[in-house]
Amino acid sequence: MARTQRKTRKTFSLSHEAVRYLESVRKGKRARSISSVLEELIRKRQEGDEMDRISASIAGYYDSLTDDQVAQDSSWGKFSEGQFPTEK
């Protein structure tokens, strides 16, 4: 059974354009509140930030490999491809 997460009430000042946008998203998604729309936008941004962090970490790892390590990884990849039965 899902637990209801406790909420913290905050007050923010937003431009009229921002409020109109949030309200249009709320209506389009038939969301119960603007708060739920904001929570979804924040969650998506957090997920995007986490994906960016992971991608940067992976890129950093591969950028740090020497040419010999890249060649060795490539050799292991070619070897492993040959270990699977071919489809007919």
Residue 85 has pLDDT above 90, yes or no: no
Question: In this predicted model, what pLDDT tens digit does every residue of 2-41 receive, in sequence order?
Answer: 566 788 999 999 999 999 999 999 999 999 999 999 999 9
Taking the model in full, what pTM does it have?
A: 0.69
Number of H helices, E strands in the chain: 3, 0
Please name the residues in contact with 19: beta carbons below 8 A apart, sequence gap of 6 or more. 34
* Nearest in space to 34 (alpha carbons), one of 47, 21, 52: 21
Question: In this predicted model, what pLDDT tens digit does every residue of 33-70 receive, in sequence order?
Answer: 999 999 999 999 999 999 999 999 999 999 999 999 99
Instruction: Give the residue extent of every domain in the chain.
Output: 33-65
The count of C-alpha atoms lying within 13 angstroms of the C-alpha of 48, restricted to the half-sphere facing its C-beta, is 6
Cα separations (Å) of 48 from 40, 44, 45, 55?
Answer: 12, 6, 5, 10
